[in-house]
Amino acid sequence: MTKSVLKDYVALAKPRIAILLVFTTVTAMMIAANGVPEFGVLIVTIIGGMFAAGGASAVNQFYDRDMDAKMSRTAKRPIPAGRVSPLAALVYGVLLILTATLLLATFVNLLAASLLLAGAAYYIFIYTMLLKRNTVVNIIIGGAAGAIPVLVGWAAVTGGLSVEAWLLFAIIFYWTPPHSWALALLVNADYARAEVPMMPVARGVETTRKQILLYSVLLVALTLLPLPINMLGMFYFVTATLLGIGLLVRSVQLIQQKTAIAAKRMYKYSTAYLAMLFLVMIIDSVAF
């Protein structure tokens, strides 16, 4: 396999997104274990998470290849650009998902493996095939797929699920709409050209900005709950509050300024926000 072909298959797996998803998984594992979990379980869960996320992304691009070809942001992806055949991408994606499920079922536990498979299936069948092209609530309902990895991580350590696991799920679930809609504001013309009913296309940019603020308020409120339920401590609470204020400021600026620059700031900050929030969770669970 040449370097260029390898690069295309790596691109199909969207490694940046996979890394963020696995990072949230590891965070859940460390909170559940009150520290560093058993090394073997940790490594297998990380590998399985990368494979499953990458496989789901590849299958997503197989299904969306016609739509991707219409959008300037995605036209150069391996399938619409003709560098990888649709069948090869589909087989690649399915094999990654099945391998990930088998790894967790064999070396971790069946609940974690089942949740992993359910997350990939939800992203492919519910979000990609059912929701994305048909309803404005595609991101709201489809966001559950990106939140399932924390359940996988919790189940990998404890063999079950708890209120704390579902709170982590809810945080990512409510983070997804403002993050995705900020991007949608930036590439609104692309989505309109491909007839994808993202919020700015279906409801307009003004409504989208207001919805981003609403979901950001709900998200910040959720991120403060780990302290009162004794899940995390004061270090996390103070830092989460400061990070949340930054998110709310950018959400308000998005309404006031109504510019692509404000949307780009919101998108970039929301990406860093989730990573920083979960990093603080790890620090609090290990050091305090």
pTM of the model: 0.94
Please choose, from the candidates 156, 215, 194, 129, the residue with its C-alpha nearest in 3D space to the C-alpha of residue 28. 156
Both tokens of 266, joined, read 């919101």
The SS3 of residue 58 is: helix
> Do 108 and 64 sit in the same domain of this protein?
yes
> Do 114 and 34 sit in the same domain of this protein?
yes
Q: Is 242 exposed, middle or buried (0-12, 13-18, 19+ CB in 10 A)?
A: exposed
- Calpha distance 192→197 (Å, rounded): 8
> Do 114 and 221 sit in the same domain of this protein?
no
- Calpha distance 58→56 (Å, rounded): 5
- What pLDDT score does 74 carry? 87
> Do 74 and 107 sit in the same domain of this protein?
yes
- What pLDDT score does 195 carry? 82
> Do 136 and 189 sit in the same domain of this protein?
no
Please choose, from the candidates 127, 133, 126, the residue with its C-alpha nearest in 3D space to the C-alpha of residue 202. 133
- What pLDDT score does 1 carry? 59
**pLDDT-based confidence at residue 248 (cuts at 50, 70, 90):** very high
**pLDDT-based confidence at residue 123 (cuts at 50, 70, 90):** very high
- Calpha distance 266→269 (Å, rounded): 5
Average pLDDT over residues 106-118: 98
**pLDDT-based confidence at residue 174 (cuts at 50, 70, 90):** very high
Domain boundary among 160, 186, 212: 160
- What pLDDT score does 58 carry? 96
> Do 144 and 179 sit in the same domain of this protein?
no
How would you label 201-234 residue by residue, b for 16+ Cβ within 10 Å and e otherwise? bbeebeebbebbbebbbbbbebbebbbeeebbee
- Which is more confident, 110 or 141? 110
> Do 135 and 184 sit in the same domain of this protein?
no
Is the model's pLDDT at 47 over the cut of 70?
yes
Both tokens of 218, joined, read 């709900």
184-210, pLDDT tens digit by residue?
A: 999 888 888 878 888 888 889 999 999
- What pLDDT score does 194 carry? 79
**pLDDT-based confidence at residue 271 (cuts at 50, 70, 90):** very high
Q: Count helices and strands (H / E) in the chain.
A: 14, 0
User: Which CATH number do you get for residue 132?
Assistant: 1.10.357.140
- Calpha distance 60→64 (Å, rounded): 6
> Do 100 and 230 sit in the same domain of this protein?
no
Count of the separate structural domains present in the chain: 2
- What pLDDT score does 96 carry? 97
Domain boundary among 111, 132, 160: 160
Domain, as residue range, for 79: 1-160
> Do 122 and 242 sit in the same domain of this protein?
no
CB atoms within 10 A of CB 88: 16
> Do 5 and 134 sit in the same domain of this protein?
yes
Domain boundary among 104, 139, 160: 160
Helix or strand run (H / E) with residue 156: helix 144-158
> Do 134 and 173 sit in the same domain of this protein?
no
Average pLDDT over residues 223-228: 96
Average pLDDT over residues 22-26: 97
67-97, pLDDT tens digit by residue?
A: 998 888 888 999 999 999 999 999 999 999 9
In the predicted model, what is the mean pLDDT of the chain? 94
> Do 59 and 145 sit in the same domain of this protein?
yes
